């Protein structure tokens, strides 16, 4: 692999958000400059996130509040991927039990689904588990009940923890699913978010890209880099989030490129395209 040739051929980057573009509620100080460098040499980008604690509409507003330009058209989330999966694979389903926030509930309702609260006598067609920052014991138990009954069971993404700039551990969707598995014996039937390559296929088709013209940039080996490998695109690891060099040494997922930050990546792409 010729390092400069690969970077100079990249036309589009797919960016993970938390741990890559920002951490928690804090934009990295180099993010804006990195994006400007990419724009100056004609490289497009899409924001991609597994975080399903808020809807795509609310996510766009969050990104804008951080000072970044963002439209719904250049954002794809694991919740949208889950809705797409339901539509394509279970077109007759209309009712779900959702382990998720009110923001996410609104997204599913706007997509045409009836979301049960758990107090109705009705049975859901499917169960969806997401990153629920409003999780209660009652919601967890009800989710486990429907999973135990054999309902189709989907999770938005497999992340165990969500990066944060606060002194706490944010228990993410994957950890909650592991809890449910410990009492039901079932893991989700479908996990739509990264590393599922469906998250990247639509972007490749939308922009008419060849695999060697697109790179997945993220801080997690088991989602970002694993998805890049499954999709046959360049895996670009940044060390601004969850993964450290010591974790990388022990991992089976190996990126093609490693950078400290997205600014270092953007600077190198700029150099190869203008040299």
Which pLDDT band holds residue 37 (cuts at 50, 70, 90)?
A: very high
Residue 179 token pair: 């809890």
pLDDT band of residue 169 (cuts 50, 70, 90) is: very high
User: Can 3-50+194-274 and 79-191 be said to share one CATH topology?
Assistant: yes
pLDDT attached to residue 52: 95
Q: How do 26-27 and 22-23 pair as beta strands?
A: antiparallel
The terminus-to-terminus CA distance of the chain in angstroms comes to: 18
pLDDT at 163 over 90: no
Does the pLDDT value for residue 201 go beyond 90?
no
CA proximity to 274, closest of 45, 35, 44, 40: 40
The pLDDT confidence band at residue 172, using thresholds 50, 70 and 90, is very high
**Across 61-81, average pLDDT:** 91
d(CA 200, CA 125): 27
Prediction pTM value: 0.84
Lowest mean pLDDT among 69-78, 123-132, 188-197, 218-227: 69-78
Mean pLDDT of 183-205: 92
- 126 band by pLDDT with thresholds 50, 70 and 90: very high
Structural domain boundaries in the chain:
3-50+194-274, 79-191
Helix (H) or strand (E) holding 273: helix 262-274
* pLDDT confidence bin for 31, thresholds 50/70/90: very high
Whether the predicted pLDDT of 262 surpasses 90: yes
**Confidence label for 5 from pLDDT (cuts 50, 70 and 90):** very high
CA 178 to CA 158: how far, in whole Å? 10
- Count Cβ atoms within 10 A of the Cβ of residue 185 and give its class: 0-12 exposed, 13-18 middle, 19 or more buried: exposed
Confidence class for position 71, pLDDT limits 50, 70, 90: confident
Taking residues 113-133, what's their average pLDDT? 94
**Sign, CA torsion 71/156/101/97:** positive
Average pLDDT over residues 238-257: 94
Evaluate if residue 269 carries a pLDDT over 90.
yes
Distance CA 141, CA 40 (A): 51
Average pLDDT, the chain: 94
- Cβ neighbour number for residue 141 with a 10 Å cutoff: 12
Higher pLDDT, 149 or 201: 149
Q: Please state which CATH class domain 3-50+194-274 belongs to.
A: alpha beta
Check if the beta carbon of residue 237 is closer than 8 Å to that of residue 253: no
Give the length of the chain: 275
For the sheet with 214-218, list strands across it. Answer: 75-77, 44-49, 12-16, 214-218, 234-238, 257-259
pLDDT for the residue 129 = 98
Peptide bond into 16 cis (omega under 30): no
Residue 73 reports pLDDT greater than 90: no
pLDDT, tens digit, for every residue of 139-153? 999 999 999 999 999
Of 58, 138, 158, 146, whose CA–CA distance to 106 is shortest? 58
CATH 2.40.10.10 fits 79-191, yes or no: no
Q: What percent of the chain has pLDDT over 70?
A: 100
């Amino acid at each position: 692999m010729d390092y400069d040739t690969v970077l100079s051929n990249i036309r589009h980057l797919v960016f993970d958000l938390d741990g890559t573009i920002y951490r928690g509620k804090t934009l990295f100080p180099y993010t804006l400059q990195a994006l400007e460098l990419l724009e100056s040499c004609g490289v497009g980008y899409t924001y991609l996130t597994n975080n399903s604690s808020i809807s795509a509409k609310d996510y766009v507003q969050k990104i804008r509040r951080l000072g970044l330009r963002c439209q719904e058209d250049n954002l794809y989330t694991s919740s949208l991927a889950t809705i797409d999966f339901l539509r394509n694979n279970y077109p007759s389903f209309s009712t779900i039990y959702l382990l998720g926030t009110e923001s996410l509930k609104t997204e599913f309702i706007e997509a045409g689904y009836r979301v049960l609260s758990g107090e109705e006598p009705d049975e859901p067609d499917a169960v969806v588990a997401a990153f629920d920052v409003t999780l209660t014991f009652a919601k967890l138990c009800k989710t486990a009940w429907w999973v135990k009954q054999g309902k189709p069971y989907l999770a938005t993404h497999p992340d165990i923890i969500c990066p944060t700039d606060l002194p706490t551990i944010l228990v993410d969707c994957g950890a909650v699913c592991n809890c449910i598995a410990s009492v039901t014996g079932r893991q989700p039937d479908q996990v739509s978010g990264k590393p599922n390559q469906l998250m990247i296929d639509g972007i490749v088709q939308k922009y008419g890209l060849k695999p060697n013209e697109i790179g997945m940039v993220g801080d997690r080996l088991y989602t970002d880099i694993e998805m890049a490998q499954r999709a046959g695109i360049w895996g670009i690891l940044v060390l601004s989030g969850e993964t450290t060099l010591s974790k990388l040494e022990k991992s089976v997922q190996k990126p093609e490129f490693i950078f400290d930050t997205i600014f270092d990546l953007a600077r190198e792409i700029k150099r190869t395209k203008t040299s």
